[in-house]
């Protein structure tokens, strides 16, 4: 929906906005000028003017308070009207901290106006003190919690509270271990384990994700080196060296030092590039295609494999499968969960597998939770999978024990 819902005209002397009314729209002045008026003892007093390019009426739509002033056309005007629905949608999409700041600033501004001599002696009871909105508004709660998580996450990085867990990836043909996906876990000294669903979004919004990704890649390199070095030749692993997948976001690729950092970390740890897989989401390829292409091609040339995580849930497009150097598609668990109950999901999974094979790409299915799912995927030709039915994410010490004791399940 466009934010510009209607073009309107007002004649000289017309009121565009009336003090005290609910704000249902804002206006962008295309032609003409207006005056801003406040009522005092039955008379209007001008406190300002606005001309072409100005926006008026936005305050009431940000903080849902009555209009604090009237706006009257000084001359014939043409304006673009912005609806409350669309304005609110755009405000809601912003960062919660910015929303809180906007609301508090507007509340303080209104409070200042209500105390000034220009305002009516007894302002409407609907006026809210800035202190009240800071203490009670739900947006404030979200913003404050976000700030707390951000500050604690910074400390967690310094204090080594983050740890990588590793979920085994299993070869469906042989049942042997083929590799692992590295997953960040945060063990807070007072709060215990904090869900990635809480701290990863905060890390992305704040930019901390870049530092976390570098840390994760370094830890993953150390881990896969140890695993491949200490594997018992009689254990149930594939003949090739095991690999490890590390997740990267659009924010990582936006960092100008992305590739040099990846290369330096791998080189420093003497890790073979082919043992590292970069996992990215489809959104990266759509939001930053040129940036992604440059970074991924450099990684691919170095020998690093590239996987598309949660394939089919976002912006799936056949065009990017040949535009980017992708080696592996990971089928999202939402399709796996429903494929045995819904024919459409089953056929979709089957089509993804067929597509990947024709493009000479590897396949990994995510979220396998029972034997029937694993059997169905194997029968469709899916090569690898991961999920709780095989193994949950585990610490590095537990992974060594897991490798030693792993027995391929009978499918």
Residue at 410 is within a domain: no
Long-range contact pairs involving 261-267 (C-beta distance under 8 Å, separation at least 24): 261/214, 262/217, 262/299, 262/302, 262/304, 263/302, 265/214, 265/217, 265/218, 265/221, 266/217, 266/221, 266/302, 266/304
- Give the pLDDT confidence score for residue 250 in this predicted structure: 83
Confidence category of residue 121, pLDDT binned at 50, 70, 90: very low
- Give the pLDDT confidence score for residue 96 in this predicted structure: 62
CATH assignment of the domain containing 22: 2.60.120.10
Number of domains in the chain: 2
Percent of the chain whose pLDDT exceeds 90: 50
Same domain, 335 and 194: yes
Same domain, 154 and 288: yes
- Give the pLDDT confidence score for residue 186 in this predicted structure: 96
For residue 195, give its domain range: 143-405
Q: Is 60 exceeded by the pLDDT of residue 5?
A: no
Residue at 338 is within a domain: yes
Closest by alpha carbon to 212, among 180, 248, 179? 248
Q: What is the pTM of this model?
A: 0.70
Residue at 411 is within a domain: no
Residue at 262 is within a domain: yes
Confidence category of residue 251, pLDDT binned at 50, 70, 90: confident
Answer yes or no: are the C-beta atoms of 293 and 231 closer than 8 Å. Answer: no
Closest by alpha carbon to 213, among 252, 164, 167? 252
More confident residue, 237 or 375: 375
Provide the token pair at 242. Answer: 């095991």
What backbone phi and psi angles, to 5 degrees, belong to 295?
-65, -40
DSSP reduced 3-state for 288: coil
| For residues 25-43, average pLDDT | 87
Provide the token pair at 116. Answer: 């000034």
Residue at 116 is within a domain: yes
Same domain, 232 and 348: yes
């Amino acid at each position: 929906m466009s934010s510009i819902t209607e073009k309107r005209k007002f004649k000289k002397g017309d009121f565009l906005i009336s003090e005290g009314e609910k704000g249902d729209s804002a206006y962008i002045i295309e032609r003409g000028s207006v005056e801003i008026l406040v009522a005092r003892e039955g008379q209007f007093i001008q406190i300002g003017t606005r001309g072409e390019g100005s926006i008026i009426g936005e305050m009431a739509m940000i903080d849902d308070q009555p209009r604090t002033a009237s706006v009257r056309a000084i001359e014939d005007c043409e304006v673009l009207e912005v609806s409350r629905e669309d304005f609110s949608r755009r405000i809601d999409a912003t960062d919660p901290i910015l929303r809180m700041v906007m609301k508090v600033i507007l509340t303080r501004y209104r409070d200042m106006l209500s105390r000034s001599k220009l305002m009516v002696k007894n302002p409407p009871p609907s006026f809210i003190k800035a202190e009240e909105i800071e203490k009670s508004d739900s947006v404030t709660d979200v913003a404050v919690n976000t700030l707390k998580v951000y500050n604690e996450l910074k400390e967690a990085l310094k204090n080594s509270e983050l740890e990588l867990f590793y979920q085994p990836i299993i070869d469906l043909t042989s049942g042997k271990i083929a590799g692992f996906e590295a997953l960040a876990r945060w063990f807070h000294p007072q709060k215990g384990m904090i869900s990635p669903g809480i701290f990863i979004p905060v890390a992305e919004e704040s930019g901390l994700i870049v530092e976390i990704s570098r840390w994760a890649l370094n830890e993953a390199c150390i881990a896969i080196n140890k695993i491949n070095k200490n594997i018992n030749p009689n254990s149930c692993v594939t003949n090739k060296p095991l690999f490890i997948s590390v997740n990267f976001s659009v924010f990582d690729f936006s960092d100008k030092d992305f590739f040099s950092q990846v290369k330096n970390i791998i080189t420093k740890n003497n890790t073979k590039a082919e043992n590292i897989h970069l996992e990215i989401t489809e959104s990266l390829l759509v939001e930053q295609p040129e940036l992604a292409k440059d970074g991924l091609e450099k990684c691919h040339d170095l020998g690093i494999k590239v996987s598309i995580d949660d394939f089919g849930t976002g912006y799936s497009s056949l065009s990017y499968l040949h535009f980017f150097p992708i080696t592996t598609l990971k089928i999202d668990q939402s399709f796996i969960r429903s494929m045995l109950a819904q024919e459409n999901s089953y056929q979709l999974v089957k089509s993804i597998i067929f597509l990947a094979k024709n493009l000479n790409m590897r396949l990994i299915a995510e979220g396998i939770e029972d034997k029937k799912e694993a059997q169905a995927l194997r029968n469709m030709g899916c090569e690898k999978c991961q999920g709780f039915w095989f193994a949950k994410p585990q610490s590095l010490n537990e992974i060594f024990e897991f490798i030693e004791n792993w027995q391929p399940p009978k499918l």
